[in-house]
Amino acid sequence: MNPRSPRSRVSRGHTLLELTISLALGMLIVVAALSLYRAQRAAFERAADVARIHDAGVSALELLAQQIQLAGFGTARSDAPLFGCTQGRVIGADTAASCESLASRSDGVQVRYAADIVATWPTSGGVPTDCIGQGVADAFVGNRFYAKPSTSTGEPELYCEGGGKQAQPLVEGIERIGLAYWLTGASSAVDASAIARDRWPDVHAVDICVQVRGFAVAGKRRTNYADCAGAPVTTDDGRTHQAFSRRVEIRNVSAPLDKGGA
């Protein structure tokens, strides 16, 4: 057949049209596959972030609860097993502590108890340790907890300052600690600013709350959550926030918690 004939030109035209349609369909399939991949990746990242937030919240609560439950172990009443700060961290000598405000608005607390190998994890040499694993030569352990952003990464972390007054991060993602204290005979919990210095030995239970922030995700999205005070908060920082809370009784104080005021 003559390649210049009309029939040949029509045949070539159909082939070009089919190629164009095939390319278009191929592009649609690629775009759909990429969209599905991105959606699956985003879902995986969100699930991983939720799991990380849960692990961080539970770990921080468990650590703080274990320490607060030990408050006063092996100490006299005058040794003030607990001392707290509202939106600040504890500074100064253990027996004459004061407060320094924190930009993170995290509460801080100092926990004191006898330094022995039962209440602490001992070193390889059998020496009692503080919250960051340092050997303690004194008769009492004085651990101080608060939350603030890391100076190196900018991510919020739960910090503990041990007996050597050296602070180390323990749990990443903790942006704020909220603490409320139950005093003997009280019908409700109060924050640290409402407790006179001579009343700290009367604290027999503590409401602990940790507020956790997740990883940054692509794009800005508005999220809602309840903070440690139970107040609704709206943020557009593209992160998930969640608060975890728990009440613990101090084992070395005999006064029972007034369940009617809980």
SS3 string of the chain?
CCCCCHHHHHHHHHHHHHHHHHHHHHHHHHHHHHHHHHHHHHHHHHHHHHHHHHHHHHHHHHHHHHHHHHCCCCCCHHHCCEEEECCEEEECCHHHCEEEECCCCCCEEEEEEECCCCCCCCCCCCCCECCCCCECCCCEEEEEEEEEECCCCCCEEEEEECCCCCEEEEEECEEEEEEEEEECCCCCCECHHHCCHHHHHHEEEEEEEEEEECCCCCCCCCEEEECCCCCEEEECCCCCEEEEEEEEECCCCCCCCCHHHC
Of the candidates 60, 24, 246, 256, the one whose C-alpha atom is nearest the C-alpha of residue 159 is 60
Q: What is the reported pTM?
A: 0.80
The residues that bridge with 212 in the sheet, in sequence order, are 174, 242
pLDDT of residue 128: 92
Partner residues linked to 224 by β-bridges: 234
Q: Residue 246: its pLDDT value, please? A: 95
Please give the Cα distance from 209 to 211 (Å, whole number): 7
Closest by CA position to 128, among listed 203, 174, 74: 74
For 249, how many CA atoms within 13 A lie in the half-sphere containing its CB? 11
Q: What is the pLDDT along the chain (262 residues), one digit of tens a residue?
A: 555 555 555 455 568 777 888 888 888 888 888 888 787 777 777 788 889 999 999 999 999 999 999 998 887 666 679 999 999 999 999 888 999 999 999 999 999 999 988 888 888 888 999 999 889 888 889 999 999 999 999 999 999 998 767 899 999 999 999 999 999 989 999 999 999 999 999 999 999 999 999 887 655 577 888 888 888 888 888 888 999 999 999 987 654 444 444 3
